Structure 1
Amino acid sequence: MTKFTKIEVSSRAKAGKGAARATRRAGHVPGVIYGGGQEPTLIALDPRIVHRELHKSGWRSRIYDISVEGGASVHALLREIQLHPVTDAPIHVDYQRLAAGHKVHVEVEIRFTGEEVSPGVKRGGVMNIVRHTVDVVVDPADIPEFFTADLSQLDFHDNVRWEDLKGTEKVTPVLQDNNFVIANVAPPSVDEEPEAAEGDEAAAEG
């Protein structure tokens, strides 16, 4: 079952920079809900909601159930948050309205498990995380909250690829190489400096 994050927003009557500035002066963040074959809906949000969602992992693939004042709720993806260049305060938010049967492009977080018991890591190897997210195309009803990568079996030069991830059954990766690497284990580097130093000492003695 698809999980929804419910938020409540107010509606805005006017568009434009002046109206947006007025919304910010009133202590709210202006935003818009677009797409889905409908006219854009102008909204205003409590900045605490924006900060809360921005600091959660996986917000790019989270589906929001937005209750708009004076209207029906809307299912949407959070597409863009514009931040003030100096204060980093949110100054505008864009949501994309979802429509059943119309696939969307989303960035899904990868969650990693088992690194602490990886044979390669336990032998001194280095775990290289190549990708923390994957861009996919998916029906809105099937957007996954995250993918899972199991690292527990990786030894030196082993890797986890797209086909090894859990939770990818109903999505299509955007990358044409459908079996790209997600993570791998590199063996520890060999420090050759001590041997070089010993060689220099031998040459000096000779």
Structure 2
Amino acid sequence: MKEISINGQVREALGKKASKMLRKEGLVPCNLYGETKGENGLPVALSFTAPMSELRKVVYTPHVYVVNINIDGKERKAIVKELQFHPTSDALLHADFYEVNDQKDITVGIPVKLNGLAQGVRDGGKLNLSIRKIDVTAPYKQIPEILNVDVTNLGLGKAIKVGELSFDGLKLATPAQVVVCSVKETRASKAAAAAAAE
């Protein structure tokens, strides 16, 4: 996975009013969930702020990054857990990060890339990508930037499901029956098939 760095500062003032003031200054309220657990056994969040100018490169991208967050001089590695946007303006309101390390498995959605010219497309069909990302589980250092799926032998009317795929060192967390891509019949392919039958 690619890595990217951002700077943050521990957030002292919490609450809606304080968050509004931060956003006016171009800062985004964030939480980092890590190894620390509270009395109830749930992860304790470290509240911090980061400049929108730096978060932009993490948020508005198709790539999945490991984020090196420097909070008041202490660096932590994390992945984006959840993002909250304003319902009308699409402005980023809040970001949650999840701390990662070399040993701990994480589950993250990785973009799918279809490779090759499908047999079904050669026969006049149309290739459809049904899901853009597949959830995989592994230590972050083993997770690739993209998942390559070979469609060369995919025939007309056929599909590739998650359960038919395997990638070295990765466990697939997306359900096995989910369709990744398929070749749909078109008018041209039906006409060609009818002509061949005659």
The 8 Å contact of residues 136 and 171 in structure 1, kept in 2 or not, is answered as yes
Q: Secondary structure at the match of 1:51?
A: helix
Pick the structure with more strand per residue.
2
Partner Cα separation in structure 1 for residue 2 and residue 57 of structure 2: 17
TM-fit CA distance, 1:95:
0.6
Matches within 5 A, 1:19-168: 19-37=18-36, 39-59=44-64, 62-68=65-71, 70-114=72-116, 117-162=117-162, 165=165, 168=167
The 8 Å contact of residues 75 and 97 in structure 1, kept in 2 or not, is answered as yes
Query: Identity of counterpart residues, as a percentage?
Result: 22
Q: Secondary structure at the match of 2:58?
A: helix
Q: CA RMSD in A?
A: 2.5
Aligned length: 183
Partner amino acid, structure 2, of 1:136:
V
TM-fit CA distance, 1:176:
5.2
Please list every run of at least 4 consecutive aligned residues from structure 1 whose deviation after the TM superposition is greater than 6 angstroms: none
Partner Cα separation in structure 2 for residue 102 and residue 67 of structure 1: 21
Partner Cα separation in structure 2 for residue 85 and residue 131 of structure 1: 24
The 8 Å contact of residues 163 and 175 in structure 2, kept in 1 or not, is answered as no
> More displaced, 156-165 or 45-54?
156-165
The counterpart of 2:181, out of the listed 180, 183, 187, is: 183
The 8 Å contact of residues 100 and 141 in structure 1, kept in 2 or not, is answered as yes
The 8 Å contact of residues 100 and 139 in structure 1, kept in 2 or not, is answered as yes
Q: Secondary structure at the match of 1:37?
A: strand
Larger radius of gyration: 1
What are structure 2's unaligned runs of at least 5 residues? 38-43, 192-198
TM-fit CA distance, 1:175:
4.2
Partner Cα separation in structure 2 for residue 111 and residue 64 of structure 1: 23
Q: Secondary structure at the match of 1:19?
A: helix
Partner amino acid, structure 2, of 1:13:
E
Q: 1:176 to 1:25 in 2, by over 3 A?
A: closer
Using structure 2 for the length normalisation, give the TM-score: 0.79
Partner Cα separation in structure 1 for residue 147 and residue 133 of structure 2: 9
Partner Cα separation in structure 2 for residue 118 and residue 36 of structure 1: 45
TM-fit CA distance, 1:6:
1.6
Which residue of the partner structure matches residue 204 of structure 1? none
Partner Cα separation in structure 1 for residue 162 and residue 186 of structure 2: 25
The 8 Å contact of residues 150 and 165 in structure 1, kept in 2 or not, is answered as no
Using structure 1 for the length normalisation, give the TM-score: 0.76
The 8 Å contact of residues 148 and 165 in structure 1, kept in 2 or not, is answered as no
